[in-house]
Amino acid sequence: MTLILDRVTLTYPDGDGRLTALDEVSLTVPKGSLTAVVGPSGSGKSSLLAVAATLITPDSGQVVIDGTDTAGLDRAELAALRRTKIGIVFQQA
């Protein structure tokens, strides 16, 4: 599977404002490659992976999985994409 994130921005509500978790992040992970996402606590790693796995819709930018732009997919299509293309292992706290 090839994954492309293009200028992805994600914010969360924070009191009267918004907290920016991802600010125009671009990333390409070619099919067959291995990519590690590392960084300190609060740096956006989990947010990045949630967007890449289509669990969260970004505020802006594009998420493309194997040539499919996920922005045009409904909930059922996103679920089917996750079922067939994406594997998720959640960490234990």
Question: Does 92 reside within a domain?
Answer: no
Helix (H, G, I), strand (E, B) or coil at 24: strand
Q: How far is CA 82 from the centre of its chain?
A: 12
CATH number where 15 lies: 3.40.50.300
Question: Does 91 reside within a domain?
Answer: no
Question: Does 17 reside within a domain?
Answer: yes
Full residue range of the structural domain in which residue 12 is found = 3-85
Token digits for 51? 């967007």
Per-residue pLDDT of 2-23, as tens digits, reads: 999 999 999 999 999 999 999 9
Overall pTM surpassing 0.85 (yes/no): yes
DSSP state of 31: T
Question: Does 48 reside within a domain?
Answer: yes
CA distance linking residue 75 with residue 16, whole number of Å: 29
What are the C-alpha distances in Å from 47 to residues 12, 25, 30, 56, 72?
10, 11, 20, 8, 20
- The domain total for the chain is 1
| pLDDT, position 93 | 62
